[in-house]
Amino acid sequence: MKLFSKKNTKFRIAEGNLIVIVIVLMVILSFATKNFFTVNNLRNLVRQTSVNGIIALGMTFVIISGGIDLSVGSVVGVASIVVAKLLVAGMGVFPAIIIALLVCVLLGTLNGLIIHYGKVPPFIATLGMMQAARGIVMLLSNARMVAGLPKVFTGFAQLVFLGFPSLFFVWFLVILVTFVLTTKTIFGRNIFAYGSNIEAARLSGINTAKVTVSVYAMSGLLSGIAGILMTSRLANGIPTAGQGYEMDAIASAVVGGASLSGGSGTVIGTVLGALLISLIQNGGNLLGINSFILQIIVGVLIVASVWYDQIRKTKKN
């Protein structure tokens, strides 16, 4: 029976287009450059995309809920400095990571609490957090790099399993978990309802405080994970780590079909969006295209993808 059909066709249209674009771009780059299709470059590409991709997934939750999180880049910095400081102070790798992640979750939770109870618009609340958290980072580190991290920690990012860099597996795990959360759980359903109409969600018994706080805490956690991976990769705690990453994260989600008005967005879309943006940057570099021009291209891509989406929607009407 048609009424009962399982899939909604949304997937095939939005993500389908992106998959095609990503594949075409990869094929073109493989032929157009010597270095694209080499193990080294692909691994690098994957490492870079993993960090952005993880942050972007946190952002996707926030955007589905109708909010925005501008503080992710600063939280990456917090994770980087906190974990590095703790390690240098001699703490074990495992507890250091846990503490750094807890701090990041705390910052995210604070965002959520301020937004829910203070009724401060997400843009403002997280803009404040972006500034404050970066300030904390600078204070903690005296605006200096934290060097001398143990090998166990820095070695992780260089590990390769089954031909894939370790960071990829972390990203993959995050993709799996977020995919299941958004599509299979009550929590996921509630975020979509909340992002679509918060009052209707509340009157349907959804605990809106819980949704707000979890969404921003989740974004904090994922930014923290990204920050730690990045620190491992760069082998130093870096105070400016993550600066500007909020833009890449938002761009990935939006290119992947998430709408800033809330209530829509998918994990797969964001993953593809993140891939596409990395590909443009990586491929552009290999082709020797001026990086400022690449920036223009990414800018155009963001606007064009939303524009295209709108055209498709109005066509349907």
Partner 1 sequence: METRPFLELKGISKQFPGVKALDNVDLTVYPGEVHALVGENGAGKSTIIKIIMGVYQEDEGTITLNGEQVTIPNVIEADRLDLAAVYQDLTLAADLSIGENFFMGQFPRKKNGMIDWNHVYSKTAETLKALNVDVDPRLRITELSPAMQEMVAIAKTVHKKSKLVIFDEPTALLSNEEVEILFEIIKKLKASGISVIYISHRLEEIFTVSDRVTVLKDGQHVKTLPVKETNEDQLISYMVGRSLTDMYNIEHYPKGEELLRVEDLNRGKALKNISFSVKRGEIFGLFGLVGSGRTEVVRAIYGADSIESGTVYFKGKKEVINHPSKAISLGIGLLPEDRKHQGLALTQSINHNINLASYKAISKFNFVLEKRERQRSVEYVNQLKVKTPSIHQLVGNLSGGNQQKVIIAKWLCCESKLFIFDEPTVGIDVGAKQEIYKLIEQLTKEGHAVILISSYLPEIMGLADRIGVLHEGSMPNIVEREAFSEETLLRYASGL
Interface with partner 1 (CB under 8 A): 1-6, 8, 184-187, 189-190, 192-193, 196-197, 199-207, 261-264, 316-317
Cβ closest to partner 1, residue 199 vs residue 292: 199
Cβ closest to partner 1, residue 66 vs residue 165: 66
Instruction: Give the DSSP letter string of 296-312.
Output: HHHHHHHHHHHHHHHHH
Least distance from C-beta 309 to partner 1, angstroms?
13
Cβ closest to partner 1, residue 124 vs residue 143: 124
Least distance from C-beta 13 to partner 1, angstroms?
12
Q: How far apart are CA 56 and CA 51, in angstroms?
A: 9
Least distance from C-beta 19 to partner 1, angstroms?
21
Cβ closest to partner 1, residue 39 vs residue 203: 203
Least distance from C-beta 65 to partner 1, angstroms?
12
Cβ closest to partner 1, residue 169 vs residue 187: 187
Query: How far is C-alpha 104 from the geometric centre of its chain's CA atoms?
Result: 14
What sections of 65-165 are H helices per DSSP? Answer: 72-88, 93-117, 122-141, 151-156
Beta-carbon count within 10 A of 128 CB? 15
Name the nearest CA neighbour of 303 among 263, 239, 267, 250: 250
Token pair 């992106």 in the structure block, residue = 18
Least distance from C-beta 196 to partner 1, angstroms?
4
- 67-93 in b/e form (b: 16+ CB < 10 A) is bbbbbbbbbbbbbbbbbbbbbeeebeb
Beta-carbon count within 10 A of 189 CB? 14
Non-local CB neighbours of 53 within 8 Å, separated by 6+ positions: 171, 174, 175, 252, 270, 271, 274, 275
Least distance from C-beta 202 to partner 1, angstroms?
6
Cβ closest to partner 1, residue 111 vs residue 259: 259
Cβ closest to partner 1, residue 3 vs residue 39: 3
Least distance from C-beta 205 to partner 1, angstroms?
4
Q: Is 165 helix (H, G, I), strand (E, B) or coil?
A: strand
Least distance from C-beta 262 to partner 1, angstroms?
8
Cβ closest to partner 1, residue 131 vs residue 185: 185
Beta-carbon count within 10 A of 231 CB? 30
Asked if residues 167 and 47 have their Cβ atoms less than 8 Å apart, the reply is: yes
